[in-house]
């Protein structure tokens, strides 16, 4: 297995690369066991962040959203990007290792709606949508 990195925010795949606080690097050792290492992403500048990730020896990066510019920078470093992935980092890694992960994959995430909003119940989401609609076209939350 080639070294794979998953950018995380808490225990989930970070929804945007620039919001990630850590990257988990997974490699197989000589016995075939997966070894994982968590690395803090200290660089905030996109160019330096890409270099920091490239320096880890990652050949495949799994993440949420990534800009075209940053995507091309990863390609320049020879890193394959599997973007648009949503889910718990551990579940994502298992899907990747099983060969079942593709770009844009949304793994089981309770409470996640298609709009990307997290809701504790259907009623909460409905109330939130109603609140955001406004009474006039182009008006949100009662403001013009």
pLDDT score, position 111: 52
pLDDT averaged over every residue in the chain: 80
Give the pLDDT confidence of 42-67 residue by residue, as tens digits: 998 999 999 999 999 999 999 999 99
pLDDT score, position 144: 46
CATH number at residue 55: 3.30.420.130
Same domain for 56 and 25: yes
Residue 95: its H or E element: helix 89-97
Residue 75 maps to a domain: yes
Does the pLDDT at position 141 exceed 50? no
Separation CA 116–CA 106 (nearest Å): 11
Give the pLDDT confidence of 14-30 residue by residue, as tens digits: 989 888 999 999 998 88
Residue 78 maps to a domain: yes
Residue 72: its H or E element: helix 68-76
* The two structure tokens encoding residue 19: 């919001």
pTM confidence score: 0.73
Q: Tell me the residue range of the domain where 15 lies.
A: 4-97
Helix boundaries (H) for 15-121 = 46-54, 68-76, 89-97
The helix/strand/coil state of 28 is strand
Residue 103 maps to a domain: no
Residue 144 maps to a domain: no
Name the domain count of the chain.
2
Cβ atoms of residues 11 and 90 within 8 Å: yes
Give the pLDDT confidence of 96-140 residue by residue, as tens digits: 988 888 888 888 655 544 444 343 444 444 444 444 455 444 444
Separation CA 92–CA 104 (nearest Å): 12
């Amino acid at each position: 297995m080639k070294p794979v990195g998953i950018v995380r925010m808490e225990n989930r795949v970070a929804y945007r690369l620039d919001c990630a606080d850590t990257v988990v690097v997974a490699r197989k050792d000589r016995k075939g066991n997966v070894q994982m290492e968590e690395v803090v992403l200290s660089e905030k500048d996109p160019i330096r962040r890409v270099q920091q990730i490239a320096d880890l020896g990652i050949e495949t990066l799994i993440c949420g959203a990534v800009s075209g510019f940053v995507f091309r920078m990863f390609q320049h470093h020879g890193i394959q990007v599997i973007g648009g992935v949503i889910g718990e980092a551990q579940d994502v890694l298992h899907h990747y290792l099983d060969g079942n992960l593709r770009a844009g994959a949304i793994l089981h995430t309770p409470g996640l709606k298609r709009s990307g909003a997290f809701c504790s119940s259907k009623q909460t989401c409905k109330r939130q949508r109603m609140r955001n609609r406004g009474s006039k076209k182009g008006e949100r939350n009662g403001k013009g």
